[in-house]
Amino acid sequence: MSAYQKMLVAIDLTEEAPQVLEKAKAVCSAHGAELVLVHVVEPVGYAYGGDIPMDLTELQDQLDKAAREELGKYGDQYGVAKDQQIVTVGRPESEIHRLAKEHNADLVIVGSHGRKGFQLLLGSTANGVLHGTECDVLAVRIH
């Protein structure tokens, strides 16, 4: 029996996502594990501190739709079934923690950018995921 049965890979839909997905697919194949592909869309109100006196629902819906389409392309390219592709709205760290529990993931895979100081090894999202996830976390170094 493999150490990992279900892996959750969280990507940000940038041009760097394939680096994370390539590593995730390799680890997944090596363990014969199931892969769940996740993208978290931050609420539009977060960018403005929630202080905008207007309805941002339509904009949020457009962002969600675009994210689903883009995640679907990655899912198709990397052989992840539609029912294992998840787009959700919220704070990335919190949503990744919730989804890892909900899907009984035993490994979470995220990308990590190099930073200065304390964030040298992990970006803020990867660091937040590491410190709140109950399963193992693999931070893939983004070049």
Residue 118 has pLDDT above 50, yes or no: no
The CATH number of whichever domain residue 82 belongs to comes to 3.40.50.620
Residue numbers of the domain that contains 136: 6-141
Q: Which two tokens stand for residue 84?
A: 């294992």
Q: What is the pLDDT of residue 116?
A: 44
Taking only the tens place, the pLDDT of each residue in 33-77 is 999 999 999 887 665 555 566 777 888 889 999 999 999 999 999
Structure confidence at residue 46 (pLDDT) = 62
Residue 1: inside a domain, yes or no? no
Which of these, 112, 93, 113, lies nearest to 46 by C-alpha position? 93
Q: Is the pLDDT of residue 80 over 60?
A: yes
| Average of per-residue pLDDT values in the chain | 86
* In the predicted structure, residue 93 carries a pLDDT above the cut 60: yes
The 3-state secondary structure of the chain, one letter per residue: CCCCCEEEEECCCCCCHHHHHHHHHHHHHHHCCEEEEEEEECCHHHHCCCCCCCCCHHHHHHHHHHHHHHHHHHHHHCCCCHHHEEEEECCHHHHHHHHHHHCCCCEEEEEECCCCHHHHCCCHHHHHHHCCCCCEEEEEECC
pTM of the model as a whole: 0.84
69 occurs within a structural domain: yes
How many domains would you assign to the chain? 1
In a domain, 78, yes or no: yes
Nearest to 142 by CA among 127, 121, 128: 121
CA distance 28 to 6: 8
Asked if pLDDT for residue 105 goes beyond 90, the answer is yes
Let me know if residue 35 belongs to a domain: yes
